[in-house]
Amino acid sequence: MTPKITQIETLLVDIPTIRPHKLSMTSMAVQTMVIVRLKDDQGCEGLGEGTTIGGLAYGPESPESIKMNIDRYLAPLLIGQSTDSVRYLMQRLNVAVKGNMIAKSALQTALLDLKGKHLGVPVSTLLGGAIHSHIPCLWVLASGNTEKDIAEAKELIAAGRHCDFKLKIGSRPVEEDVAHVAAIKAALGDSASASVRVDVNQAWDEATAVKGMAALQEAGVDLVEQPTPAKDIDTLARLSNKFEIPILADEGVADAKDVYQFAKHGFNGGIALKIAKAGGPIPALEAAVVSESAGFGLYGGTLLEGSIGTAVAIHAWSTLPTLRWGSEMFGPLLLQDDIIKQPLRYHNNGVDVPNLPGLGIELDELKLAEYQRKD
């Protein structure tokens, strides 16, 4: 008999970060995750996670809105439904509720975890099958202090945990940002295979981007992520064809339709895939297919999810033939603690793909209770 969904519970979980994480639009010292626990009539549970960066400073969904919209609008559409087809259930949500992609991603994750557990296969198998067992993973140097960032990067290189680094810039004058990045690039220049990229998080206009990218190119920086506003595709296309340094489109690209528009406008760069902005791993992989068809290099992005959201993204990226720019699935490492019993395994400049049924992770109920928001 096909299992049916009987209960969907959402929890707000607040875990402090190991240090302040600075972006162009905000700084965060605590990450709030919306944890989804989806249960069926056979006693099985699927886990999901909806997480964003810096609340409404980053995008239209906050942790509180994600929880409320799942509880009030999305969950009732799933209760009592068969778990047979994840695609059918997501179509049911998409027809009835517009937007709310992070909330939908959390539910799709829980449905896939549940399905994988019932079938005894990893989520990667449900998504077509893993090609890789280990995903490259960079680290973000976001203290804002040049010497601290250099010391942190050198320590991580020596430990073999990361060799690629991204810097968040855009909150300071462009000259200061470029000097900061150039100093770090120069300091790591002798480190074997060390890559330095920047993420501007839409902070520059076109004139500033021309100035900044010219200087970053001169400094030997490898990649510039979303230097200008998300919706200004033409500007990003012009910049991508003006400089040798590649541009990565992030906030401007959510799904396959967005990727098509970037190709249509003559963009020449890379695409940051994120399960949260696409509405789940399935549509994120659809965006990957269009990206590859257009010749765009792929990058596995994050909204700084904890271990649940990170695990499902790792499963998805493991099915892709090539991640030209690697991934940034370091979210759990940015947190002071974890709510799963066995943390994801980071080593050899990357992270292992879980191979147990479903997501391959198990909640630590004591930790969950410790960090769950009580009000």
List residues with catalytic annotation. 168, 328
Q: Quickly tell me which residue has 């965060």 as its tokens.
A: 28
Distance CA 348, CA 350 (A): 6
Count CA atoms closer than 13 A to 95's CA, side-chain side: 8
How are beta strands 195-199 and 223-225 bridged, if at all? parallel
DSSP codes of every residue in 154-220: HHHHHHTS-SEEEEE--SS-HHHHHHHHHHHHHHTTTSTT-EEEEE-TT---HHHHHHHHHHHHHHT
Q: Which one-letter amino acid corresponds to residue 238?
A: R
Distance CA 211, CA 203 (A): 13
Query: Is 152 in contact with 191 (CB distance < 8 Å)?
Result: no
Distance CA 49, CA 324 (A): 26
